[in-house]
Every structure is written in C-alpha cells, then in structure tokens.
C-alpha cells in the first residue's frame, strides 16, 4: 500500500519553495519499498535515510548537548517518526515544534504507521490525523507533513529479539539515565521500534 502524505499549514508549499518536495517524495517512496514487512524497520530506517543523505553527522540533535535526535535532517527539513504505534504523533510533533520554535528547521516530516486497533471509535487514520492536528493548534502551530505508512505484517525472529535485547542492554550500560550522545533507543519493549519508552500514549502495532 502506498504511503499517504498529508501537508498541514502550507508545508507542501514550503517544501516546493525550498526545492525539497521531490526529494521528500522520492525518499518516502524508497522507505515504503524498503520497510514493507521488514523484520526490524527501525534499523532499516536509519540505513535507508543514511543512503539518501538524511543522516549527516552532527546535524540531527533536537536539543544541544542531549541525546535526542531526529531520524533525519536535510536542508532545514527534519524527519522524525516511529512505526510501533500511531500514538507517537504527539511526541513526534512536540520534537519538531521545539526545533521549529528555535529556528533550526523550516518544516518537518513525521513518519507514522497507519495501523490502529480495529476497535477504535475514530474513522480512518487520515481523518484522525487531520482532526488531531486541528485540535493541537495552537500548541502545535508549525508547518508539518505527516506520512502514514502501511508496512504490512512485520515478521520477527528469535534472533531479532535477542539482538534488540542486547542493544537495549548495551545502551543502558553506556548511560543508565539515557543521556548518552547519539540517538535515543529505537527499541520499544515488546515491539521492534519505538520512542514509546518516553511516550505514554504508545500502544501495540
């Protein structure tokens, strides 16, 4: 299933003005192909964004001196995201808004899973996203684009789970308080990707 890219507050026009719209669209298409049914989308996401020039060293920090980092950054456009739960939308938008208010980015792209519980009372994920962006104003007021992905059924093996546990253990030993230089853990307990350790809203994919 193709990704669904939704522009808010003239973000599409801004991307076109700074000649980044084609780059963003081609990158998202590449991610859609690479990550579909991938056993560990978090690791592949980093690799794919590195290949497409979105992960240059020293440019990803959200807060100076802290380990919070964007997934990618290019020409003033930040790329943030999480595929473990749609509810990451709140944390992702907050990260982007902080950098926008500081003047370090022009706009942002938020990558999310379109999958939600079958028991949800809301309509489509696109409709929910549009409603939430409206309700979050003026707290979230920046121009932003949200890309919703259907990555299919993620297949995981015991080896994937062992590697995830090892990576979590190594990161904790480096800095138990989570303040190490570099990106915060992309691993959510029981899931294959996620900042959900910080996000109380995160639920299962």
The CA-CA-CA angle for residues 149, 153, 155, to 5°, reads 120
Is the pTM higher than 0.85? The answer reads no
* Joined tokens for residue 179: 């303040």
Q: Is domain 4-174 classified as CATH 3.40.50.10860?
A: no
pLDDT tens digits, residue range 48-94?
999 999 998 667 888 887 888 999 999 999 999 999 899 999 999 99
Residue 1 has pLDDT above 80, yes or no: no
**Maximum distance among all Cα pairs of the chain, rounded to whole angstroms:** 47
Read off the tokens for 199.
């996000």
Q: Which residue has the higher pLDDT, 40 or 196?
A: 40
Q: Specify the pLDDT at position 162.
A: 64
Domain extents in the chain: 4-174
Q: What percent of the chain has pLDDT over 90?
A: 57
Strand-strand pairing, 77-82 and 107-113: parallel
Section 180-184 average pLDDT: 44
For the segment 8-37, the average pLDDT, to the nearest whole number, is: 96
pLDDT per residue over 17-28, tens digit each? 999 999 999 999
Over 50: is that where the pLDDT of 117 sits? yes
- Of 201, 167, 202, 203, the residue nearest 185 (C-alpha): 167
Mean pLDDT confidence for 107-130? 88
Q: How far is CA 16 from CA 19, 69, 93, in A?
A: 5, 25, 21
pLDDT-derived band at 161 (thresholds 50, 70, 90) equals low
3-state secondary structure the chain: CCCEEEEECCHHHHHHHCCCHHHHHHHHHHHHHHHCCCCCHHHHHHHHHHHCCCCCCCCCECCCCCCCECCEEECCEEEEEECCCHHHHHHHHHHHHHHHHCCCCCEEEEEEECCCCCCCCCCCHHHHHHHHHHHHCCCCCCCEEEEEECCCCCCCCHHHHHHHHHHHHHHHHHCCCCCCCCCCCCCCCCCCCCCCCCCCCCCCC
Looking at per-residue pLDDT, the higher value among 172 and 76 belongs to 76
- Say if residue 42's pLDDT is above 60: yes
The larger pLDDT score, comparing residue 27 to residue 199, is at 27
């Amino acid at each position: 299933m193709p990704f669904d890219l939704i522009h808010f507050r003239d973000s599409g026009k801004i991307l076109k003005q700074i000649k980044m719209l084609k780059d963003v669209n081609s990158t998202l298409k590449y991610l859609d192909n690479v990550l579909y049914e991938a056993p560990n989308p978090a690791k592949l996401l980093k690799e794919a964004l590195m290949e497409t020039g979105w992960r240059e060293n020293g440019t990803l920090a959200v807060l100076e001196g802290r380990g919070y980092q964007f997934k990618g950054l290019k020409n003033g456009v930040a790329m943030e995201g999480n595929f473990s739960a749609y509810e990451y939308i709140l944390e992702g938008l907050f990260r982007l808004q902080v950098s926008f208010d500081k003047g370090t980015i022009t706009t942002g792209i938020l990558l999310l899973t379109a999958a939600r519980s079958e028991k949800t009372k809301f309509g489509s994920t696109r409709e929910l996203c549009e409603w939430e962006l409206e309700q979050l104003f003026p707290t979230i007021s920046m121009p932003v684009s949200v890309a919703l992905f259907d990555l299919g059924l993620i297949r995981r093996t015991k080896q994937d789970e062992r590697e995830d546990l090892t990576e979590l253990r190594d990161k904790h030993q480096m800095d138990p308080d989570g303040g190490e230089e570099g990106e915060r853990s992309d691993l959510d307990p029981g899931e294959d990707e996620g900042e959900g350790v910080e996000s109380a809203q995160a639920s299962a994919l």
